[in-house]
Amino acid sequence: MQEKIIASLMTQLDLDRDAITMESRFIEDFSMDSLDMVEMLINLEKETGIKVPVEEVGDIHTVGELVKHLEGKQ
């Protein structure tokens, strides 16, 4: 799951692998806005088959927190 999320973010945000850690924050470190978050969730749904409504990620701020959230829905 972790690698799928990282691969998805690399493509979406045009980032190198090294730029993404479990502590990376979506807003502060990647300058993502609400539509970027929606795009990320759509990409992850295509990749993993797990649907995450955007309202569920209100308290998710880091890559690590998202990994945990998605693993919990598997």
Return the H-helix or E-strand segment holding 7.
Answer: helix 2-13
Please state the closest distance from residue 35 (CB atom) to another protein, in A. Answer: 5
Indicate the SS3 state at residue 62: strand
Binding site for another protein (CB under 8 A): 11-12, 33-39, 42-43, 46, 54
Partners of residue 62 on adjacent β-strands: 25
Query: CA-to-CA distance for 43 and 28, rounded, in angstroms?
Result: 21
Closest approach of another protein to the CB of residue 66, in Å: 16
- To another protein, the closest distance from the beta carbon of 39 in angstroms equals 6
Comparing CB distances to another protein, the nearer of 7 and 22 is 7
